[in-house]
Structure 1
Amino acid sequence: MLAQEPEYVFIVGTVHFSERSAEDAAAVIQAVRPENVILEVCRSRTAIIYDHKPQPGSDHAAEPNSMSLSGPSFAQALLRSARLGGNSAMVLRAALSAQAGRVSRGLGVRSGVEMRAARRAAEAVDAQIVLGDRPIEITLQRAWQALTWPQRLRLLGLLLRGGFADNSELNMNAVEALKDDDVITSVVAEYSRKFPQVVSPLLHERDLYLAWSLKRSKAVNGRPNTKEWGCVQARFIGDNGSD
């Protein structure tokens, strides 16, 4: 019998550093009680959805680290990411992590707060979690390969300067504004102007992948679900290399 697509899909727009987004994510899951919850995260970044390092013998998602890598150990996770995406992807990811760290320190909120809230809410209603994003190593490798060497150096310079810049202008109002369509369009337009080659691998290709994850989620888990909940983050370029 052919796999059926979900009958209902609920998509909630969020921002990775937003406590309000965490509340929204939990509220939707509690109200809808879906069979599956699809998160915009891949296997390599599953550490971001956990609150702390698990006890020995439990799930082996690593304690959160600056690059949000997951695995039995940071070293093994790093090697896995390098193997999938190559050294160039790891260089770009490190620079993006520095940028994310700046935002996290300025706001006092660890990135992915809404995904952790979604995971807890999903567990509370016995919903299965689907990792919906394309592997970040592939995304960054494609973005890196799309740039010329001068563009690569320029992008790394901008990210590293941003990673150690002053945090005084960061505030929650600015973060919440990223949910506004006009602000998102403006941010994407700015990056499109400076680095048009990376827009497709970072945004459009991943949008298609996430849509596919929503469509296939019922078949992945093999449950007779009728309700799905999808988490699609606002396109915040500084978040751990994922957006």
Structure 2
Amino acid sequence: DADALTLLLEMKLRRRRERPSLPRTVTELVAEDGSRVYVVGTAHFSDDSRKDVVKTIREVQPDVVVVELCQYRVSMLKMDEGALLREAKEISLEKLQQAVRQNGVMSGLMQMLLLKVSAHITEQLGMAPGGEFREAFKEASKVPFCKFHLGDRPIPVTFKRAIAALSFWQKVKLAWGLCFLSDPISKDDVERCKRKDLLEQMMAEMVGEFPDLHRTIVSERDVYLTYMLRQAARRLELPRASDAEPRKCVPSVVVGVVGMGHVPGIEKNWTTDLNIQEI
């Protein structure tokens, strides 16, 4: 009933820190209505990033958690680490056929090549990808009235736009670079790259000579993630004991969990007019 809801909400607000002690990887943004967004910049293969996500959610007791995932990658939230580790290492003919069926030949091949990059890191480090998102999902479920949103652009859209941005020879050159990726990576490399996510840094190095590809894979998704974070940061209506009581709204608190490479773009776009229909 309304009394129980009010009690739960009061407990949550009491747990929320006025001046939260946050990791250095967290950027605080404020919406026009006073809602606060805490963006945790993560390295996708990092134990420290998992801890940063847990600490931030426990400190601020958010109303919404937004993660850099789309519906096509949501399965990684509920799979156990062992299964994810096995799946991340396996790039089979069946996976290739499924990617081609879903996204077309060129986009499907691009998806498999990017999976190869992720599989290379997975094999080198023995860590399953997306650990910070699974921690965010688990912690959000412990916070009363906390919603969990997927904030990334659908991956087939990103691949199709990326392929369309490249000439034939650029596609060949990029595929060649991805196919022969073999540099060893240590856990220290990951933590050293925490300010610029390792997976995104490797991709940036490979696509550096293709500015249009960087635009579709990084810059456009910065805009999309910013839009989704702003949508989540809406004023919250408090529960009422009866319909006769006036409605009362308060600023919301949001935690965003994104790759560190997206944080500068989100900060840059935070106060600008955005039109995601164009992307």
Q: Which residue of 2 aligns with 1:118?
A: 136
**1:177 has 2:192 as partner:** yes
Q: Give the aligned residue type for 2:105.
A: N
Which residue of 196, 205, 208 maps to 2:220?
205
AA of the residue aligned to 2:149: V
2:159 aligns with 140
Alpha-carbon offset, residue 172 of structure 1: 1.5
Q: 2:257 aligns with which of 231, 236, 243?
A: 231
Tell me which of the two structures has the higher relative contact order, counting C-alpha pairs closer than 8 angstroms and 6 or more residues apart.
Answer: 1
Change (3 A) 1:67 1:87: farther
Q: Structure 2: give runs of 5+ residues left out of the alignment.
A: 1-31, 239-248, 263-279
User: Following TM superposition, by how much is the alpha carbon of 1:182 offset from its aligned partner in structure 2, in angstroms?
Assistant: 11
CA distance in 2: counterparts of 1:23 and 1:215, whole angstroms? 25
- CA positional deviation for 1:234: 2.6
Number of the residue aligned with 1:92: 110
Partner of 1:21: 49
Equivalent positions of 1:34-183 (< 5 A) are: 34-52=62-80, 64=84, 65-66=87-88, 78=98, 82-83=101-102, 85-126=103-144, 127-162=146-181, 165=182, 169-180=184-195
Give the alignment's TM-score, normalised by structure 1. Answer: 0.75
Higher-Rg structure is: 2
AA of the residue aligned to 2:142: A
Checking the alignment, whether the CA contact within 8 Å between 1:143 and 1:202 is kept in structure 2 is yes
SS of 2:180 mapped into structure 1 = helix
**Alpha-carbon shift at residue 177 of structure 1 (Å):** 2.1
Partner Cα distance (1:96, 1:186) in 2: 13
Q: Number of aligned pairs?
A: 211
Instruction: State the partner residue of 2:8.
Output: none
CA distance in 1, matches of 2:214, 2:141: 34
Matched-pair identity in %: 27
* Corresponding residue for residue 26 of structure 2: none
Over the aligned positions, Cα root-mean-square deviation in angstroms equals: 3.4
Q: What is the CA–CA distance in structure 1 between the aligned matches of 2:197 and 2:148, rounded to whole Å?
A: 31
Q: 1: distance between equivalents of 2:106 and 2:158?
A: 12
Structure 1 residues 157 and 24 mapped into 2: Cα distance closer, same or farther (>3 Å)?
A: same
TM-score by length of 2: 0.66
